[in-house]
Amino acid sequence: MKKIIIFAIVFSVAINSNAQKVKDIKMKTENDSLSYAFGISIADNLAKQNIQNINPQAIGRAFQDFYNNQSKINVDDANKMIQNYFESQEAQKFKSTVEEGEKYLKENSTKEGVISLISGLQYKILKEGIGKAPVSTDRVRVHYEGTLIDGTKFDSSYDRGEPAEFGVTQVIKGWTEALQLMKEGAVWMLYIPSDLAYGSRQAGQTITPFSTLIFKVELLSIVQ
């Protein structure tokens, strides 16, 4: 996921001759010239990322408000807006992947035995468990196999001949949610939308951004 922290951009301003640059820019003070250089660097950074429809006046106002402690939005909210912007831009590049995933999940939700949750996660119980259900602080041992919606296999503990072990919260969101609903001994099929999987991130060579994923998950035990 591409994440930009607007007030944590590191700028490298190479100044061979401060006096000459101050004279060239014709600012009143050297600090004015340095401030102008920072502005140019920010503009260059945004332009290189092909960010469109930037309002320079709004950017200038944001700087004034920030340094006067009068920001209209806080830094965390600003970072979230920027993150959402880049994610939406990435989503456009992978529009067909997004649409195929949405279509698959919509059709899958009508199939017998498939349960859809509010989060968007879908699952089908192949075998009921009879043990305990893990909680968020537990570690679990599982066997699993993961595929894309076209059937391409990208990972399998069965093929490796050895179960995987990890914390319930150390995996993608779809797994974390499902594991806490399963009981030891259960075998489920999980149908995970991209926002509960890897989102806009590439995962390995096979899982492209915004991929919907399918897993067969066998919860062997809670690790004591």
Separation of alpha carbons 28 and 22, rounded Å? 8
Asked if residues 168 and 176 have their Cβ atoms less than 8 Å apart, the reply is yes
Asked if residues 183 and 131 have their Cβ atoms less than 8 Å apart, the reply is yes
Those residues with Cβ within 8 angstroms of residue 177's Cβ, 6 or more apart along the chain or in another chain? 117, 119, 121, 196
Query: Which of the residues are catalytic?
Result: 144, 154-155, 172, 198, 215
Separation of alpha carbons 119 and 116, rounded Å? 8
Give the largest CA-CA distance in the chain.
Answer: 79
Q: In degrees rounded to 5, what are phi and psi of residue 153?
A: -80, 130
CB-neighbour burial class of residue 83 (10 A; exposed 0-12, middle 13-18, buried 19+): middle
